Amino acid sequence: MQYLLLIYGNEEAVGKMTKAEVDGILQEYGEFTKSIAQSGHYRGGNELADTSTATTVKVRDKKRLVTDGPFAETKEQLGGYYLVEAKDLDEAIALAARIPSARWGSIEVRPIVPHDMP
């Protein structure tokens, strides 16, 4: 079974970190990614650019509406994700708990709904 581990954190706080702090976190992430790749759980994952770079697209009455944002008013923003293979929720939770951001932000664990390709 696959789960998406959504990583939420405070962008502003990350923005205020020193380079050494950011490097430390990046290194931790690198080690974590490597270890879940070796254990066979890793199926994909990426860091996302800040919400300030986000664009929202909607189509209404065949008309395309493009807007800047969203600029979430919540304290935590989606900053990245992992797609993992886990045998059950407990295993997915255990993986989520090892993501460095779990210690200051939060990780949302969402099961993937499988669909057969046409």
Partner 1 sequence: MYASPATLCAGSRMEPSVERIYREESGRILATLIRLIGSFDLAEEVMQEAFTTALEQWPKQGIPDNPRAWLVATAHHKAVDLLRRRTRFDSKRDELQRLAQLEQELSEAEQDVMRHDATSALSDDRLRLVFTCCHPALLLEAQVALTLRTLCGLTTEEIASAFLLPLSTMAQRLVRAKHKIRDAQIPYRVPPAQELGARLEAVLLVVYLVFNEGYSASSGDTAIRRELCAEAIRVGRLVCELLPAQEEARALLALMLLHDSRRATRVDSEGEVVLLEDQDRSQWDREEIREGLALVGSALRGGAAGTYALQAAIAAVHAQAERAQATDWKQIVGLYEALLRVQPSPVVELNHAAAVAMAHGPAEGLRLLDRLEGKADLREYYLLPAARGDLLRRMQQWNEAALAYRRALALAKNEATRSFLSRRLAEMEARALGS
Where on the chain is the footprint of partner 1 (CB under 8 A)?
1, 87-90, 93, 109, 111, 113
Which DSSP symbol is given to 112? P
Nearer to partner 1, 19 or 87 (CB): 87
CB of 96 to partner 1, least distance (A): 11
Nearer to partner 1, 62 or 87 (CB): 87
Give the strand pairing for 42-47 and 106-111.
Answer: unpaired
CB of 19 to partner 1, least distance (A): 37
Nearer to partner 1, 14 or 93 (CB): 93
CB of 56 to partner 1, least distance (A): 28
Omega before 118 within 30 of 0, i.e. cis = no
* Strand, helix or coil for residue 17: coil
Nearest Cα neighbor of 4 from 87, 98, 113, 105 is: 113
